[in-house]
Amino acid sequence: MIKFKNSEITPENIYKNRRNFIKKFGLTAGSIFLSQNLNFSANAAPKNEDLKLTEYRYITTYNNYYEFGTGKSDPVERSEKFKTTPWDIIIDGEVENPLKLSIEEINTMFPSEERIYKLRCVEGWSMVIPWLGFPLNKILNKVSPTSKAKFVKFVSILDPEQMIGQRFPILDWPYKEGLRIDEAMHDLTILVTGLYGKKLPNQNGSPLRLMVPWKYGFKSAKAIVNIKLVEKMPTSSWMKASPKEYGFYSNVNPTVDHPRWSQATERVIGEGIISPRIPTTMFNGYGDEVASLYAGMDLKKYF
């Protein structure tokens, strides 16, 4: 069991009564970026105080993790015995000091803090998850990226012995994802080690996953073994599977539909049969913080 310095193990029932905390956190997260000049501020609505946490049981039983199968309950049913120790993560590529760190070293070097983020899946549903993690920029700064480092490529583990889904060519295994360097360095981009005050469950991408809250969920690669700084834009597994449908950026954007389905609205997980769809917001509600990264870009073209 990994020890967390910044956050103690918190039972879910305590979480449920922590609306006050959420409110405070929302204000903190928002105020960090108040000084930035923003172009899309009218679109942004990260009302964190309105976010109601999704129940732990839903976050940990409703997963897209095709390495363990394409069904939503496959990951929880098939990942129980997945081995996350020993686990090394290599950070290399266009850097001055490439590093190989064990997951234990990462947990010691980079204390996790709590981040409540909304997760919007490209399929049209969303959850609100109290992650434990640390900004990716902390680890990137440790390796000193060179001037050639324009993009960051994330490679997940390849282990068809343990991951039944990888025995089928559903995607180009191992799972690959990528970010532009400024997206990767952004303070909202975190590497996740836990959720709900606990160690990250296997089905959620243990021992280390990415979380980029203003992008569709599939951008946030799970079970990462390699973070490579590169000069050219990497091709993600989803881009390779269907380039017209899954772009490199994949920012949450209600005005740019998936070619086959609408992205204007989303269903909130765990809200029951009565609750209606809610409108999807630009950059998943994080526009105040991230819209400036895309100033002048045609987001219909760079979807």
Partner 1 sequence: MTKYLKPSIFVLSLVPFLIITYKIFFNKLGPEPVKEITHFTGEWTLIFICLTLSMSPLKKLTKLSLWINFRRMLGLFVFFYATLHLLTYVGLDYRFNWQPIFDDVVKKKYVFIGFAAWILLIPLVITSSKKMVRLLKNNWKKLHRLVYVIAIFGSLHYIWLSKTIFFKPLIYLIIIIVLLALRIKIKNKDVNYG
What are the tokens at 106?
A: 């990462």
Q: Which of residues 54-113 bind partner 1 (CB under 8 A)?
A: 58, 61-62, 70, 72
- Distance, CA of 79 to CA of 87 (rounded, Å): 16
Region binding partner 1 by CB under 8 A among candidate stretches 40-48, 175-183, 192-200, 254-262: 254-262
- How far from 231 is each of 31, 93, 170, 178, 211, CA to CA, in Å? 33, 9, 28, 12, 22
Out of 273, 296, 300, 301, name the contact with partner 1 by CB under 8 A.
Answer: 273
Question: By C-alpha distance, which of 110, 278, 122 is closest to 212?
Answer: 122
- Measured at the CA of 214, the angle between CA 236 and CA 256, to 5 degrees, comes to 75
Taking CB under 8 A as the rule, does residue 139 contact partner 1?
no
Contact string (CB under 8 A) for partner 1, positions 4-43, x = contact:
----------------------------------------
CB-based contacts of 101: which residues, under 8 Å, 6+ apart? 88, 89, 91, 109
Helix (H) or strand (E) holding 114: strand 113-120
- Distance, CA of 20 to CA of 101 (rounded, Å): 37
Q: Which of 97, 242 has the CB closer to partner 1?
A: 242
Taking CB under 8 A as the rule, does residue 260 contact partner 1?
yes
Taking CB under 8 A as the rule, does residue 122 contact partner 1?
yes
Out of 45, 90, 99, 170, name the contact with partner 1 by CB under 8 A.
Answer: 170
Taking CB under 8 A as the rule, does residue 261 contact partner 1?
yes
Amino acid identity at 35: S
Q: Which of 164, 181 has the CB closer to partner 1?
A: 164
Taking CB under 8 A as the rule, does residue 123 contact partner 1?
yes
Q: Phi first, then psi: what are they for 152, rounded to 5°?
A: -120, 130
Region binding partner 1 by CB under 8 A among candidate stretches 144-152, 209-217, 228-236, 272-280: 272-280
Taking CB under 8 A as the rule, does residue 301 contact partner 1?
no
- Residues forming contacts to partner 1 in the complex (CB under 8 A) are 58, 61-62, 70, 72, 122-123, 125, 170-171, 241-242, 257, 260-262, 264-265, 267, 269-270, 272-273, 276-277
